[in-house]
Structure 1
Amino acid sequence: MRWMNIVLAISILALSSWADPGNGTKFGFNPTRLEVAQVMNQTQEEPEPELAPDLDIEGRLVPGKALLLSAILPGTGQFYAKNYLFAAAFLAIEVGAWYGVASSHGRGMDKETEFLAFADQHWTYYDESYGGLGDYGSYLEYEYYAAYEFGPDGESGGDVYTGSIVEWQLLTWNERSYWLPANGFTHELDPNNKDQQYYEMIGKYDQFGAGWPEDGDYDPDWRNGPYLYDDLGAKTWKWQTHNTYREDYLNMRKDSNDALEMSKNYTMVVLGNHLLSALHAGFNVSWKNRKLAKEQSVEGAFHLEPKRHNNEMVAMGVLGITF
């Protein structure tokens, strides 16, 4: 900003009659006139500079346009404002985030396809070819064993189910759950409805562990012929065998879920990048417009201030112009 002070003489010369030679001043200085000039100067407040309207500013940009551009594609609003560094940064984040969304989602879906096929191949609800009770070739045989050997109270020799396994599989879940130990068989599984719950339960709950095939990786003391035994050698209905098929299945599910969760996180980055870029573009353009307005505006202010003229203090008008 350049300041040009144009000093206008409000009073060029004081009339000689104003002077008071008898006041003892060397140059006829009149203190009363100085006080008047000071009062005049104090009462003249400098007006606020009036800036030219935004529409008259050369090179003015539209904040709403910048905001909308970046909301649609991050970085374009900054490019419109000629802020190329931020434009490149927001655009790079957008490209990287979308790549993360696509790659993570694709990896998660591939793992999901893998664990679904693995479960369909290895987990069995019921297979008559295993020869019935004691072979544990399927989940239903283990369920029948718990009802036939232990019954509702989970104690061997108590009130137990006495029907055949063929009759057992014809019962409804409410009828079967009556004969099963209450603290171990808590979830119903419909083998004809392989939905998300089906694939989650067969891996998550020990109740369905018997549906996974044997792989030799278990403690032989826990399982002997048609019965299961605990660590103390007592017969039990609780499925405790360690099975690597089930562990492999759970690891596949975890890998799939982790990848899909990462895809969601990248999606949040995309949304946040759109919002942040839009706000930044709008504020950046508004700030540039204000800067242009100050650079192109002309400000003026008039006030009085005391000046010495011919060895005498007089009130002088001062006009300040900024352009």
Structure 2
Amino acid sequence: MKRIILLFLILSATVSGQKIEKIQVGQVEKNPKKAMLMSAVLPGSGQFYSQSYSWGILYSALELTGISAAVYYNQAGNTKTSDYKSFADHHWDVIRWLDDYYGEYEQPWTNPAAEKTHNVYLSIGSHRYTFTEFIQTFETWEEWQAYRDQIELEKEYHFYENISKYKQFKQGWDDWQEYKDDPDYQVIQRSSPHQEDYAGMRKDANDLLKRSTYFTSAIMFNHLVSAFDAYFRTTRWNKRFAHRVHMNMVPNLSSRNQGLTFHMQIDLAGL
């Protein structure tokens, strides 16, 4: 193809008698930094720019797979999270939990389980108590009964974690009374079947959300690798294909005994 182009230029110059200097043929160089930026934003695009089509398809496919998996596992994890929270709200009750502490001990702060319990926050109106503050403020069961219908417990992340992991919260489960004397539930971490089922639900949700974060990290890694790969592939493409042909063609008319002839000088560089 290049030879045909050269021949065409020579013939054109010969016919027209014009001076043609530094005609460039071949493919224009590509910008490696541009390719790097393109793939940093959208993996595979820099590879397409450098005409490495198979690698462009690969990085694009990895990006699509990573995004799809991250979204799928995040949605599945959020659904499971909603399920275990709904289960806990239905089967665990703060008043049932407090009744046991005050019912079993005359002074609830002496309850060994109460001393070991992880913190939760209880509110009555605008006043907010830690659990320890609550049982020290209301020293007897009768003292907080007037506020029984006003007590609210903050159900944030740590609350849903605590009722899953610790026996200090066992009294709040609606099946604890039935299993509190069961020897099988005296030697394992869970205090009742509902707490055990809840712990399994929460683990499933967390596992799904962790998978989503793994795929999110893989997406970021794909952006990084694709960007550097596009830079080097574009640089290599320039070395292989971005050749330049420079020609200086000067037709000179001279007279000889045999007639008129053209003298042409062609300089080729970069091949």
User: Which TM-score tier does this pair reach, normalised by the shorter chain?
Assistant: 0.5 to 0.7
Is this contact kept in 1: 2:92–2:173, CA < 8 A? yes
Cα distance change of structure 1 residues 111 and 94 upon mapping to structure 2, 3 Å threshold: same
Q: How many residues are treated as equivalent by the alignment? A: 197
Alignment partner for residue 238 of structure 2, among 289, 293, 311?
289
Which letter maps to 2:58?
A
Q: Structure 1 residue 117: deviation in Å?
A: 0.8
SS in structure 2 opposite 1:148? Answer: coil
Determine whether 1:93 maps to 2:51: no
- Report 1:21-32 matches (<5 A): none
Which letter maps to 2:133?
N
**What is the CA–CA distance in structure 1 between the aligned matches of 2:223 and 2:160, rounded to whole Å?**
37
**What is the CA–CA distance in structure 1 between the aligned matches of 2:180 and 2:219, rounded to whole Å?**
50
Cα distance change of structure 1 residues 240 and 97 upon mapping to structure 2, 3 Å threshold: closer
- Report 1:120-139 matches (<5 A): 120-126=89-95, 138-139=96-97
Q: Structure 1 residue 279: deviation in Å?
A: 0.8
Q: Structure 1 residue 191: deviation in Å?
A: 3.6
Aligned to 1:196: 157
Cα distance change of structure 1 residues 106 and 113 upon mapping to structure 2, 3 Å threshold: same
Aligned to 1:226: none
Gap runs ≥5 in structure 1:
1-54, 127-137, 155-169, 181-189, 223-229, 232-238, 299-320
**What is the CA–CA distance in structure 1 between the aligned matches of 2:37 and 2:128, rounded to whole Å?**
63
Determine whether 1:265 maps to 2:214: yes
**What is the CA–CA distance in structure 1 between the aligned matches of 2:169 and 2:98, rounded to whole Å?**
9
Is this contact kept in 2: 1:218–1:241, CA < 8 A? no
Alignment partner for residue 212 of structure 1, among 173, 181, 188?
173
The structure with more radius of gyration: 1
Q: Deviations over 1:228-251 (max 9, x none)?
A: xx89xxxxxxx9883110111111
Is this contact kept in 2: 1:217–1:244, CA < 8 A? no
Q: Structure 1 residue 296: deviation in Å?
A: 5.3
- Report 1:1-323 matches (<5 A): 58-126=27-95, 138-148=96-106, 152=110, 173-174=132-133, 176=135, 191-214=152-175, 218=179, 220=181, 242-292=191-241, 323=271
Is this contact kept in 2: 1:217–1:242, CA < 8 A? no
**What is the CA–CA distance in structure 2 between the aligned matches of 1:200 and 1:245, rounded to whole Å?**
14
Q: Structure 1 residue 297: deviation in Å?
A: 8.1
Q: Deviations over 1:240-285 (max 9, x none)?
A: 8831101111111111111111111111111111111111001111
Which letter maps to 2:80?
K
Q: Deviations over 1:180-229 (max 9, x none)?
A: 9xxxxxxxxx843222222222222211101101278736367xxxxxxx
Which letter maps to 1:286?
T
Which letter maps to 2:105?
A
Is this contact kept in 1: 2:167–2:191, CA < 8 A? no
SS in structure 2 opposite 1:220? Answer: coil
Which structure: greater helix fraction? Answer: 2
**What is the CA–CA distance in structure 1 between the aligned matches of 2:64 and 2:128, rounded to whole Å?**
56
Q: Structure 1 residue 152: deviation in Å?
A: 2.6
Gap runs ≥5 in structure 2:
1-23, 113-126, 141-150, 247-268
Q: Structure 1 residue 78: deviation in Å?
A: 0.6
Cα distance change of structure 1 residues 241 and 149 upon mapping to structure 2, 3 Å threshold: farther
TM-score, normalised via structure 1 length: 0.53
Quick one: percent identity of the two aligned structures? 30
TM-score, normalised via structure 2 length: 0.62
**What is the CA–CA distance in structure 2 between the aligned matches of 1:195 and 1:241, rounded to whole Å?**
21
Is this contact kept in 2: 1:203–1:209, CA < 8 A? no
Is this contact kept in 1: 2:176–2:192, CA < 8 A? yes
